[in-house]
A and B are shown apart, each in its own frame.
Chain A
Amino acid sequence: MNLKEKIEKHLLEVQKPSRYIGGEVGSVIKDKSKVDVRFAFCFPDTYDIGMSHIGMKILYSLTNERENYWCERCFAPGTDFEEIMRKNDIPLYALESLDPIKEFDFIGFTMQYELSYTTVLNMLDLAGIPIFAKDRTDELTQIVVAGGPCVCNPEPLADFFDIFILGEGEEVNLELMDLYLDMKRQGASRLDFLRRAARIEGIYVPQFYEFSYKSDGTIEKMTVRENAPATVKKRIIKDFDKVYYPENFVVPFTEIVHDRVSVEVLRGCIRGCRFCQAGFIYRPFREKKPDTIYNETKCLCENTGYDEVSLASLSTSDHSEIDGMLTKLIDYTAGERINLSLPSLRVDNFSESLLEKIKKVRKSGLTFAAEGGTQRLRDVINKNVSEEEIMNTCRIAFQGGYSSVKLYFMMGLPTETDDDIIGIAELAQRILDLFYSIEDRPKGRSPQISVSCATFVPKPFTPFQFEPQDTREEIERKQKLLLDSVKSKKIRVSYHDPDVSQLEAVLAKGDRRLCSVIYSAWKKGCKFDSWSEHFKFGTWLEAFEECGVDPAFYANRRLAFDEILPWDHLDYLVSKEFFIRENKTAHKSVTTPNCRLRCSGCGVNKAVGRECFCYD
Chain B
Amino acid sequence: MLRLRAVFEKSGRAKYISHLDLNRCMLRVFRRSKLPVWYTEGFNPHPYYSFALALSLGFESSCEIMDFNINDDEMTLEEIRDRLNAVMPEGMRIISVAEQVKKITAIAKAEYSFSLVSEDVTGVYDAVKGILDESEILIEKKTKKGVKTVDIRPDLELVSCEITENSVDMAIRLPAGTQTNFNPTLFMEALKNYCNIPFEARKIRRTGILCENNEKFS
A residues adjacent to B (C-beta < 8 A): 11-12, 16-18, 21-25, 251, 253-255, 301-307, 337
Mask of B12-28 contacts with A, CB within 8 angstroms, 1/0: 11101110010011011
Cβ 8 A contact of A304, one of B14, B28, B58 = B28
Contact of B16 (CB < 8 Å), options: A18, A251, A255, A304: A18
A337 and B25 contact, Cβ closer than 8 Å, known pairs A12-B58, A303-B32: no
Q: When the two chains form the complex, which single residue of B17, B34, B87 contacts A253, counting CB atoms closer than 8 Å?
A: B17
Which residues of A have CB within 8 Å of B28? 25, 251, 304-307
State the Cβ distance, A52 to closest chain B Cβ, in Å: 15
A11 to B27, CA, bound (A): 25
CB distance from B37 to the nearest CB of A (A): 11
Partner of B27, one of A16, A17, A305: A305
Given the contacts A18-B21, A306-B28, A23 and B89 also touching, CB distance less than 8 Å: yes
Which of A11, A25, A306, A337 is in CB contact (< 8 Å) with B87? A25
B contact residues around A253 at 8 Å (CB): 16-18, 21, 24-25, 89
In the assembled complex, which residues on chain A have CB atoms less than 8 Å from the CB atom of B51? none
Q: Are B89 and A254 in contact (CB under 8 A)?
A: no
Contact between B13 and A337, CB atoms less than 8 A apart: no
Pick from A22, A251, A301: contact of B13, CB below 8 A: A22
Q: Which residues of B contact A17 (CB under 8 A)?
A: 16, 57-58
Name the residue among A21, A23, A255, A306 with the largest chain B CB count within 10 angstroms.
Answer: A23
Q: Provide the B40-65 mask, 1 if CB < 8 A to any CB of A, else 0.
A: 00000100000000000110000000
Hey, which chain B residues are within 8 Å of A11, CB to CB? 16, 58
**Quick one: given A12-B57, A18-B18, A337-B39, are A23 and B13 in contact (CB under 8 Å)?**
yes
Shortest beta-carbon distance from A3 to chain B in Å: 14
Contact sample, A vs B, 25 pairs, CB 8 Å cutoff: A11-B16, A12-B57, A16-B18, A17-B16, A23-B12, A23-B13, A23-B89, A25-B32, A251-B28, A253-B16, A253-B18, A253-B24, A253-B89, A254-B21, A255-B24, A303-B32, A304-B28, A304-B32, A305-B27, A306-B28, A306-B31, A307-B27, A307-B28, A337-B39, A337-B45
The reply on B91 being an interface residue by CB < 8 A is yes
**A24 contact from B29, B30, B32, B89, Cβ within 8 A:** B89
Residue among A254, A304, A306 with most chain B CB within 10 A: A254
Which 7 A-B residue pairs are closest in the complex by CB-CB distance?
A305-B28, A23-B13, A305-B31, A305-B32, A18-B16, A12-B58, A253-B21
Known: A21-B13, A25-B87. 15 other contacts (CB 8 A): A17-B57, A17-B58, A18-B17, A21-B16, A24-B89, A253-B18, A253-B21, A253-B25, A254-B21, A302-B34, A303-B32, A304-B32, A305-B87, A306-B31, A307-B28
| B17 CB to nearest A CB, Å | 5
Bound CA–CA A302/B21 (angstroms): 20
**From B18, B27, B31, B90, contact of A23 by CB (8 A):** B90
Task: Choose from A23, A251, A306, A307 the contact partner of B91 (Cβ within 8 Å).
Answer: A23
Separation of A83 and B16 alpha carbons in the complex (Å)? 20
B31 touches A307 (CB 8 A): yes
Q: Tell me the complex Cα distance, A16–B17, Å.
A: 9
Interface string of B83-99 (1 = CB under 8 A from A): 00001011100000000
- Shortest CB distance A249–B (Å): 11
Please report whether the interface of chain A is mostly helix, strand, loop or mixed according to DSSP.
loop
Interface residues of B, count at CB 8 A: 24
Contacts of B39 in A (CB 8 A): 337
Which residues of the partner chain A approach B45 to less than 8 Å between Cβ atoms? Answer: 337
Cα A21 to Cα B58 in complex, Å, equals 12
Q: Which of A23, A301, A302 lies in contact with B14, CB distance below 8 A?
A: A23
Compute how far the CA of A289 lies from the CA of B59 in the bound complex, rounded to whole angstroms. Answer: 48
Indicate whether A305 sits within 8 Å of B30 (C-beta atoms), given known contacts A18-B18, A21-B16, A255-B21.
Answer: yes
CA distance A24 to B90 in the complex (A): 7
**Most chain A C-beta atoms within 10 Å of own C-beta, residue among B16, B18, B24, B87:** B16
Contacts of A254 in B (CB 8 A): 18, 21
Chain A residues with Cβ below 8 Å from B27 are: 305, 307
**Interface hits, B181-217 → A, CB 8 Å:** none
A253 to B16 Cα, complex, angstroms:
9
CA distance A556 to B206 in the complex (A): 63
> Taking the nearest CB of chain A, how far is it from the CB of B14, in angstroms?
7
Q: A22 — which chain B residues lie within 8 A by C-beta?
A: 13
The minimal Cβ–Cβ distance linking A203 to chain B, given in whole angstroms, is 37
Bound: A304/B87 CA distance, A: 9
* Complex Cα spacing A307 to B27, Å: 9
> Which residues of A lie under 8 Å from residue B17 when comparing CB positions?
18, 253
In the complex, the chain B residue whose C-beta lies closest to that of A17 is B16
Note all chain B residues with C-beta closer than 8 A to A307: 27-28, 31
User: Nearest chain B CB to A341's CB is how many angstroms away?
Assistant: 16
CA separation between A560 and B91, bound complex, in Å? 61
Nearest CB in chain A: distance from B61 CB, A: 16
User: How far, in whole Å, are A21 and B18 apart by their CA atoms in the complex?
Assistant: 13
Given the interface pairs A12-B57, A18-B16, the reply to whether A305 lies near B21 with Cβ below 8 Å is no
How far is A21 from B89 in the complex, measured between Cα atoms in Å?
Answer: 13
Residues of A within 8 A of B16 (CB): 11, 17-18, 21, 253
With CB as the reference atom, state the residue of chain B lying closest to A338: B31
- Neighbouring B residues of A255 by C-beta, 8 Å: 21, 24
Instruction: State A40–B134 Cα separation when bound (angstroms).
Output: 55
Query: A304 to B31, alpha carbons, bound, how many Å?
Result: 8
Q: How far in angstroms is the closest Cβ of chain A from B184?
A: 14
What per-residue 1/0 map shows which CB atoms of B106-124 lie under 8 Å from chain A?
0000000000000000000
- Whole-angstrom CA separation of A476 from B18 in the bound complex: 44
Known: A253-B21, A307-B31. A25 touches B89 (CB 8 A): yes
> Which residue among A25, A301, A303 has the maximum number of chain B CB atoms within 10 Å of its CB?
A25
- Chain B CB within 10 Å, residue with most, of A18, A304, A306: A18
A residues near B18, Cβ cutoff 8 Å? 16, 18, 253-254
Q: Which one of A24, A253, A255, A304 has the highest number of Cβ atoms from chain B below 10 Å of its Cβ?
A: A253
Nearest-Cβ distance from residue B69 to partner chain A, whole angstroms: 16
Instruction: Collect the chain B residues with CB atoms within 8 Å of residue A18's CB.
Output: 16-18, 21
B121-169 interface (Cβ within 8 A of A)? none
| Centre residue among A17, A22, A305 by max chain B CB count within 10 A | A305
Nearest to A307 among chain B residues (CB) is B31
Q: Chain B residue with minimal CB distance to A305?
A: B28
Nearest residue in A to B12 (C-beta to C-beta)? A23
Tell me the bound Cα distance from A25 to B30 in angstroms.
13
Most A CB contacts (10 A, CB to CB) among B13, B18, B90, B91 go to B13
* CA distance in complex: A305, B29 (Å): 6
Residues of A contacting B58 in the complex (Cβ-Cβ under 8 angstroms):
11-12, 17
In the complex, the chain A residue whose C-beta lies closest to that of B14 is A23
Q: How far is the CB of A330 from chain B (nearest CB, A)?
A: 17
Q: In the assembly, what is the distance between CA of A337 and CA of B40, in Å?
A: 12
Q: For the complex, what is the distance from the CA of A590 to the CA of B18, rounded to whole Å?
A: 56
Q: Nearest Cβ in chain A — how far from B93, in angstroms?
A: 13
A13–chain B nearest beta-carbon distance, Å: 10
